[in-house]
A and B are shown apart, each in its own frame.
Chain A
Amino acid sequence: MPYSELFKDHFANPRNAGEIADADAAAEQSNPVCGDRLKLTLRITDGRIEQARFLAYGCAPTLACGSVLTEMLEGLTLEEAAQITRARIVSALGGLPARKNHAAALAVETLHAALSKL
């Protein structure tokens, strides 16, 4: 399955790349099998995610998932953010090849790790 235009756009022009220096929540997770890494930092004001930044090492889907996740997160309440699923990330990217679903799993896992520290 070829990558969608949405996917390529996120990969070519990643949104919210970087790190928030004094973040309210942060997590870095890696996929122990393939070594992909995702780092997520969040600024939270009054229970809402005001800003989300990501860094990623890994295959193209891992980078694109980081980008699309931060885009989805900004403006959400913490409760809403906790509801984000793998499937939502995959569909926001216009689909992923089945063997690349682990990239969306890593994104959700990193998000949960960041939220659990609050």
Chain B
Amino acid sequence: MRRVYLDNSATTPVDPRVVEAMLPFLTEKFGNPSSVHFYGQEARAAVDRARRELAALVGARPNEIVFLSGGTEANNLAIRGLCEHNRQHGRHVVTSAIEHSSVRGICDALERRGWEITRLPVYENGIVRTTDVRAALRDDTVLVTVMLANNEIGTLQPVADIGALVRERRAAGQRHLWLHTDAVQALGRMSVDVEQLGCDLLSMSAHKLNAPKGVGALYVRRGTRLAPQNVGGHQERERRGGTEAVPFIVAFGEAARLARAELDERVARMRRLRERFESGVEECVADVVFNGDRESRLPNISNISFRYIEGEGLLINLDMQGVAVSTGSACSSGSLEPSPVIRALGRDDELARGSIRFSLGKDTTGEEIAYVLEALPRAVSNLRRLSPLYQKALAERACFNA
């Protein structure tokens, strides 16, 4: 069967060039970077090279990059690490209603321990307003954490404006206020620059960047103090104990180098194919709603609600035709509530349950998009034919037209 993978926001395949770069570090270059001998120094040099590549990708200094196990750990070290270290200065955090579940979970855990969390709304376009951030800041706020790009609808959040606001507050005397952004979805899909954003902490994950699962990084601006979450090792300048995952770090470095070199080309290609996909959907499927701002969003995500049908049924129908996507439907996640992100846009439950995320990758082809545009209308009409909601709407329309 033909297979098309349109779930690159969940994970990406590892680029063969990345595999090639990492392989020697599994076999002959197996040293521990903490060892003083030749093997250790060879591994140390490779980790340092990777650190320089990550730093270059986000406009940071190499010693501001901490390698760890992935996006969730980066978010934990950033948010818990900063809050634990600064609890004497205040116990208030400002975040958004559409953060990734790891950030949501960490904030919920802080709240249970007595912290106050302000969760800012997004509007119909799926974007936080900087004026709301300004209004939410208090003298005891120590952290603002707002994602750079949303993982379900791809909307870009005004992190640079929030960064300017945080700097303004600091200049006015609120020295203990920091900004964290989860850039896991943004990395490699838009240009990311920590100076332009004005953030103090920025989370990254390798497996959304055509590198392996199990490695990520946190940018920590010089002078930003964190309580380490993994203690008992001197690695990563005492910020993250544990022997470095050298092969994965090398892979992440190579993926960062490639992403920097090919960014413009990748973005242009994904955007062009996404546009072709969305105009195709508009042409051949009725009763659809596009979720999230159509302009200010990542070039690779298209999130669409299909009226009268449920997302998990559509996902499985597409999967049976070889097309892999994901859904905000509660049925597939095992929870009872449909996607909080789609609900936060003000959509009703039916639209939230019928939402599907199509996420393109750097290697998605026009031919693949054409195949999906054949499979999708078939899947939608099969399910609508069965749907009591659709049959009822058809009957009502017939009455209206009669």
* A and B physically associate: yes
A58: chain B residues within 8 A (beta carbon): 310, 313, 331
Within the complex, the shortest CB–CB distance from B318 to chain A, in Å, comes to: 11
Are B388 and A34 in contact (CB-based, < 8 A)?
A: no
- Residue among A3, A34, A56 having the largest count of chain B Cβ atoms under 10 Å: A34
Within the complex, the shortest CB–CB distance from A56 to chain B, in Å, comes to: 5
Which residues from 272 to 314 on chain B have a C-beta closer than 8 Å to any C-beta of chain A?
308-310, 312-313
A35: chain B residues within 8 A (beta carbon): 349-350, 353
Are B388 and A11 in contact (CB-based, < 8 A)?
A: no
Contact with B along A27-60 (1 / 0, CB 8 A): 0100001111111000000000000001111111
A99: chain B residues within 8 A (beta carbon): 334
B261: chain A residues within 8 A (beta carbon): none
Contact with A along B259-275 (1 / 0, CB 8 A): 00000000000000000
Are B313 and A63 in contact (CB-based, < 8 A)?
A: yes
Residue among A12, A55, A60, A63 making CB contact with B391, cutoff 8 Å: A55
B334: chain A residues within 8 A (beta carbon): 99
Chain B residue with Cβ nearest A28 = B388
Q: Does A112 belong to the interface (CB within 8 Å)? A: no
Q: Does A14 belong to the interface (CB within 8 Å)? A: yes
Q: Does B320 belong to the interface (CB within 8 Å)? A: yes
Q: Does B336 belong to the interface (CB within 8 Å)? A: yes
Chain A residue with Cβ nearest B330 = A34
CA distance A54 to B391 in the complex (A): 12
Are B317 and A57 in contact (CB-based, < 8 A)?
A: no
Give the B interface residue count (CB, 8 A): 24
Indicate whether A57 sits within 8 Å of B320 (C-beta atoms), given known contacts A14-B386, A37-B388, A99-B334.
no
User: Main SS of chain B's interface residues?
Assistant: helix
CA distance A14 to B385 in the complex (A): 10
Q: Does A8 belong to the interface (CB within 8 Å)? A: yes
Indicate whether A57 sits within 8 Å of B312 (C-beta atoms), given known contacts A34-B330, A35-B353, A99-B334.
no
Are A57 and B336 in contact (CB-based, < 8 A)?
A: no
Q: Does B332 belong to the interface (CB within 8 Å)? A: yes
Which residues from 64 to 89 on chain B have a C-beta closer than 8 Å to any C-beta of chain A?
none
Are B331 and A56 in contact (CB-based, < 8 A)?
A: no
CA distance A23 to B317 in the complex (A): 30
CA distance A38 to B387 in the complex (A): 9
Q: Does B45 belong to the interface (CB within 8 Å)? A: no
Chain A residue with Cβ nearest B389 = A57
Are A55 and B387 in contact (CB-based, < 8 A)?
A: yes
A37: chain B residues within 8 A (beta carbon): 388-389
CA distance A63 to B388 in the complex (A): 11
Q: Does B9 belong to the interface (CB within 8 Å)? A: no
B330: chain A residues within 8 A (beta carbon): 34
Contact with B along A86-106 (1 / 0, CB 8 A): 000000000000010000000
Chain B residue with Cβ nearest A99 = B334
A59: chain B residues within 8 A (beta carbon): 310, 312-313, 329, 331-332
B316: chain A residues within 8 A (beta carbon): 3, 11, 60
Are A55 and B336 in contact (CB-based, < 8 A)?
A: no
Residue among A8, A14, A56, A60 making CB contact with B388, cutoff 8 Å: A56
Within the complex, the shortest CB–CB distance from A28 to chain B, in Å, comes to: 6
Indicate whether A56 sits within 8 Å of B386 (C-beta atoms), given known contacts A34-B330, A34-B336.
yes
Residue among A8, A19, A57, A60 making CB contact with B308, cutoff 8 Å: A57
B308: chain A residues within 8 A (beta carbon): 57
Q: Can you list 26 A-B contacts (CB < 8 A)?
A: A11-B313, A11-B316, A12-B317, A12-B320, A17-B385, A19-B391, A28-B388, A34-B330, A34-B336, A36-B331, A37-B388, A54-B386, A55-B386, A55-B391, A56-B387, A57-B308, A57-B309, A57-B386, A57-B388, A57-B389, A58-B310, A59-B310, A59-B313, A59-B329, A59-B332, A60-B331
Residues of A whose CB lies within 8 Å of any CB of B are 3, 8, 11-12, 14, 17, 19, 28, 33-39, 54-60, 62-63, 66, 99
Taking A56-B386, A57-B386 as known contacts, 8 extra A-B pairs with beta carbons closer than 8 A to each other, sorted by chain A number, are A12-B317, A19-B391, A33-B336, A39-B388, A56-B388, A57-B309, A57-B388, A60-B316
Complex A-B, nearest 5 residue pairs according to Cβ-Cβ distance, in ascending order: A59-B331, A55-B388, A59-B312, A39-B388, A60-B316
